[in-house]
């Protein structure tokens, strides 16, 4: 190939790329122009898309908040295993070591009978009758091994341990069965159940609104195609490429998703900040979720924009394929 032919080929390539770029820019311009043509349809499509993405945001935020709450309660919940009063920490060390070796156990702590009595006295210092009873019954307080589990709902290994470990069986307090401390376990199980239920409801509602928003965008694009029938016909007659004709409608739908993503992210974040103090007063810690969103706000918004753009793209492609006969 001669130098002239090579130069001609390079020049043609540059011109082709320039034409493609100009076509792309014009498609975006026409799409943005289409977006503002019918205000009511635009508002309806954007509003439903915003609700859809807001439900996504709320669902994931609620799951994060509930998980944080469960973990916080789990940190303070433990199972108490009671040993004989005279058992010391040194004597209980083999039991502690074997408990630490269980994969479901996060940590263990030994509390002697005297420490248990002192703690009980401290916790009930306003109850004089109980204090006198503790003083008179110092030799009846058991030594206690408190076990914090990785998953408070998974007690299978621990149950097997208290039934089969010979060292524990030899030193256990026969008058006290192992039990969870206070009502925390019931609270955790309740919150865990609500977490699963909220997740299912949230994703179901999200799926329903994805369908609704897709249908609205689908019909919006269909009406746009019908209203611009003569314009589209003229573009066909002058030889416009099918991608150039279809492109503005796709851009229009993507803009719905992008604007809806920004609105949903802003509304969702503002709502979390607004309810933070009220939920904190009820024992629900929202701040870790708010801080997580703050630290990853760019990625959160980008993810929602991608989801919104994807919904808009799929809806518009289906509409143009069905009603835009090219």
Q: Map residue 181 onto helix, strand or coil.
A: coil
pLDDT mean for each 10 residues of the chain (326 residues):
62 66 68 69 81 84 77 68 85 88 86 72 53 51 82 78 86 78 57 68 77 78 72 71 74 84 91 84 80 89 87 80 66
Give the span between the Cα atoms of 70 and 211, in whole angstroms. Answer: 33
Strands (E), the chain: 79-83, 105-111, 143-149, 179-180
Q: What is the per-residue pLDDT for 73?
A: 67
Selection from 114, 115, 93, 96 nearest residue 105 by Cα: 96
Q: What is the per-residue pLDDT for 176?
A: 79
Q: What is the per-residue pLDDT for 128?
A: 52
Q: What is the per-residue pLDDT for 138?
A: 47
Please state whether the predicted TM-score (pTM) of the whole model is above 0.75.
no
CB 307 within 8 A of CB 257: yes
- Give 101's DSSP letter: T
Query: If you write DSSP's letter for every residue of 119-179 in order, what string do you get?
Result: HHHHHTTT-HHHHHHHHHTGGGPPEEEEEEESSTT--HHHHHHHHH-HHHHHHB-TT---E
Kindly tell me the sign of the dihedral angle through the C-alpha atoms of 184, 185, 188, 189.
negative
Give the span between the Cα atoms of 57 and 63, in whole angstroms. Answer: 10
Give the span between the Cα atoms of 300 and 292, in whole angstroms. Answer: 10
Q: What is the per-residue pLDDT for 263?
A: 92
Contacts 24+ apart (CB under 8 A), 276-284: 279/65, 283/69, 284/65, 284/69
Give the span between the Cα atoms of 61 and 57, in whole angstroms. Answer: 6
**Across the chain, how many H-helices and E-strands are there?**
12, 4
Q: What share of the chain is helix, strand, coil (3-state, %, to 5)?
A: 75, 5, 15
């Amino acid at each position: 190939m001669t130098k002239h032919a090579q130069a001609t080929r390079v020049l043609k390539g540059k011109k082709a790329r320039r034409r493609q770029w100009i076509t792309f820019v014009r498609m975006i311009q026409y799409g943005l122009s289409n977006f503002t043509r019918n205000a009511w349809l635009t508002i309806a499509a954007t509003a439903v898309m915003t609700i859809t993405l807001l439900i996504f945001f709320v669902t994931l935020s609620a799951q994060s908040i509930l998980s944080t709450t469960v973990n916080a309660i789990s940190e303070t919940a433990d199972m108490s295993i009671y040993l004989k009063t005279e058992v010391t920490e040194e004597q209980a060390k083999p039991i502690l070591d074997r408990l630490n070796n269980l994969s479901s156990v996060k940590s263990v702590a030994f509390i002697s009978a005297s420490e248990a009595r002192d703690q009980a006295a401290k916790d009930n210092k306003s109850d004089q009758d109980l204090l006198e009873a503790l003083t008179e019954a110092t030799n009846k307080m058991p030594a206690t091994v408190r076990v914090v589990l990785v998953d408070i709902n998974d007690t299978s290994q621990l149950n097997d341990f208290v039934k089969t470990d010979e060292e524990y069986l030899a030193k256990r307090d026969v008058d006290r069965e192992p039990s969870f401390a206070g009502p925390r376990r019931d609270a955790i199980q309740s919150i865990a159940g609500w977490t699963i239920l909220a997740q299912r409801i949230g994703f179901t509602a999200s799926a329903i609104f994805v369908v609704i928003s897709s249908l609205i965008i689908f019909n919006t694009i269909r009406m746009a195609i019908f209203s611009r029938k003569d314009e589209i016909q003229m573009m066909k007659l002058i030889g416009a490429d099918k991608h150039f004709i279809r492109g503005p409608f796709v851009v229009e739908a993507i803009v719905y998703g992008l604007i809806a993503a920004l609105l949903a992210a802003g509304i969702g974040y503002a709502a979390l900040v607004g309810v933070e103090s009220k939920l904190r007063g009820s024992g629900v810690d929202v701040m870790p979720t708010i801080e997580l969103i703050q630290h990853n706000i760019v990625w959160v918004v980008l993810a929602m924009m991608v989801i919104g753009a994807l919904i808009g793209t799929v809806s518009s492609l289906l509409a143009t394929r069905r009603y835009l006969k090219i």
